Structure 1
Amino acid sequence: MSEPTPPDGAVANFPTKPCFVIAPIGPAGGEIRRRSNQIMKYLIRPVLGRHGYVAVRGDEMDQGGLITSHILTRIANDPLVIADLTDANPNVYYELAVRHVLRKPFIQLIDSAQRLPFDIAGLRTIHVDHRDLDSVEDAKAALSRAIESIHKGEPIETPMSFAIELQDLRTSANPEEQGLAQILEAVKRIQRDVQVSRTRGASVEDFMSLRLFVERLAQEGRLTDDDIATLVTRTTAGPFDDWANSLPIKSGAFEDPWANTPPPSPPSVSSNFDEEPPF
């Protein structure tokens, strides 16, 4: 099958930027194929067309030879990859992992009734119910925002990239970078504990510990602009970003404004903490 023509709403000139779509396909005529086709037609292609992309799925590629090789080439080279994680298809996760390692732009989406596995639960993902028109419209807006963020050059963060950067900080000769590695590891440990506790009926008090820990670091003057830039990435959620950006941080010549001020009492749960953790 040849690659599709531009959808309605495409840019005036024929889009030239390819986008490879990783998705569960299923047999022709089946429910999996039907849903995947609808996601392509009503969500992905209209939005990508407006941003100058042509979206192609693996079964639409018209090339001879080993199809797996062609797919991996597209995953490695296309300027954008979209991965539909619905139904936890192993091929989808394998191909997405390749893109994660390469640290090239990608966008994840999933059926709104399904949950992400633990390893990538912290990555921003678009949730959509293809049977709900309002949900599809919301997902289209979210997809457009994600593409705009990529065009602005926001850093690509994945579990693999975080591990590599953390190792670089651990082995750095710079004491400040070594200290930052310790802070990030501590935050990650708390975050993992909170994520696990959410499945065990965790209380709001469980989530307070992470905020209070980082806020105390800020009060002690141990957070800088660079630290916040490391914590706030495209993989973190909006509420976490807003909270982290509100922290007092070191910037240039720093004079600790809390030097002679006792640390504040923990805020009340009802007034300052949501039911969900800030990530």
Structure 2
Amino acid sequence: MAKKENKKRCFVVGPIGKPDGEERIHSDWLLEGVILPVFAEHFRDFLVQRADKISKAGMINTQIIEELLDAELVIADITTLNPNCFYEIGIRHMVQKPIIHMHLAGQSIPFDIAPFRSIEFARIWPKDLERAKADLKTYIDEVLDPDYKVDNPVTVARGKVEFEKTATPAERAIQEELSELRNRVSALTSERNYWAHLDIKPSNMLRISREANSGRFYGGNITFEVRLVALRETSTRQLHALAEKYLPKYFEDYDLYRSSEADVGARVADTPRNRDAARLLENEAQSFEHPIHVVISPSP
């Protein structure tokens, strides 16, 4: 009798949902279109499992926790911000073992894990999956390196606790200076990225300057963002047509700041009417003639 091969394990965490539902379709795209092909080609010594694919007898919750505690690698899809997923991610963070975060393009990341890298992927064009597979392969190589140090909110918090126990007054002063410098760099980076989104050409520099001085951008009345993100079969042309059709219908004052193959972004005046309209658009968007996902977030 042939000896059973003892493979390392990769456990996939993410929204599963009902069969044929939007969450299941999304999860299957990620598992079958990205994750499994990467392991089949590059990491054949791994067995990849998702909770709904576990076939052995026993309580499913116990088996999930065992995988989170013991698997050599966990890949977590944080798209849809599913509470169960974040519970499972928290368990993995606590044991301080390798985990890779992934999310669908356009999804806002909760502030708790926003400082930690996450692979952003899309599934609109065939090249999107190829890019996602290449990124995932790079991340797996990194976390499986013997010199890799796990970095997540728990390790950071524990490191701070240990530092507080032993730090000298001089070391504490240095730490405070570094924290202040980090905050300043973060603020400068946010501002630079914001202006990078604008179409800065000589022909519109006067317009941008005039609008900035009148308060239409920083410090003015535009204080939240609305992004329209294409879902599945929605093409770039259809997405842009939807933006042109529905943004004026829902909002009384807005400025486009981003337009790409996968999404369209607008900065919207923070008025009671626009806040109500944003929530309405978020609820109605997937019933449009071409389904889209709406992301609403504060302006940086």
TM-score of the two chains, using structure 2 as the length reference: 0.57
1:185 Cα offset (Å): 3.5
Pairwise CA RMSD: 2.8
Contact 1:170 1:177 in 2 (8 A): no
Partner residue of 2:164? 170
Q: Which residue of 2 aligns with 1:78?
A: 71
Q: Which amino acid aligns with 1:25?
A: I
- Equivalent position SS for 1:157: coil
- What residue number does 2:10 align with? 19
Q: 1:25-64 residue pairs with structure 2 within 5 A?
A: 25-49=16-40, 50-51=42-43, 52-64=45-57
- CA drift of 1:29 comes to 1.5
| Distance in 2 separating the partners of 1:201 and 1:107 | 35
1:230-251 CA distances to partner (integer Å, 9 max, x unpaired)?
xxxxxxxxxxxxxxxxxxxxxx
The structure that is strand-richer by fraction is 2
2:151 matched to which residue of 1? 157
Q: Deviations over 1:127-157 (max 9, x none)?
A: 1112322121111111111111112232111
Q: CA deviation at 1:183?
A: 3.5
In structure 2, distance between residues paired with 1:173 and 1:37: 48
Match of 1:136 among 120, 129, 145: 129
Residues 92-107 of structure 1 aligned to structure 2 (within 5 Å): 92-107=85-100
Deviates more, 1:189-198 or 1:105-114: 189-198
1:66-97 residue CA offsets vs partner (Å, 9 max, x unmatched) = 21111010011000000001101000111001
Aligned equivalents of 2:91, 2:7: Cα separation in 1: 23
- Please tell me the residue identity of whatever aligns with 1:73: E
Contact 1:170 1:181 in 2 (8 A): no
Q: 1:165 to 1:196 in 2, by over 3 A?
A: same
Q: Runs of 5+ in structure 2 lacking a partner?
A: 195-215, 220-300
- Paired-residue identity, %: 29
Instruction: Return the alpha-carbon distance in structure 2 between the equivalents of residues 70 and 109 of structure 1.
Output: 22
Aligned match of 1:185: 179
Using the alignment, how far apart are the partners of 2:185 and 2:59 within structure 1? Answer: 42
The answer to whether the 8 Å contact 1:169/1:177 transfers is no
- Distance, in Å, in 1 between the alignment partners of 2:114 and 2:217 is 18
List gaps (5 residues or longer) in structure 1: 1-13, 204-279
Corresponding residue SS for 1:95: helix
Shift of 1:17: 1.4
The residue matched to 1:147 in structure 2 has which SS? helix
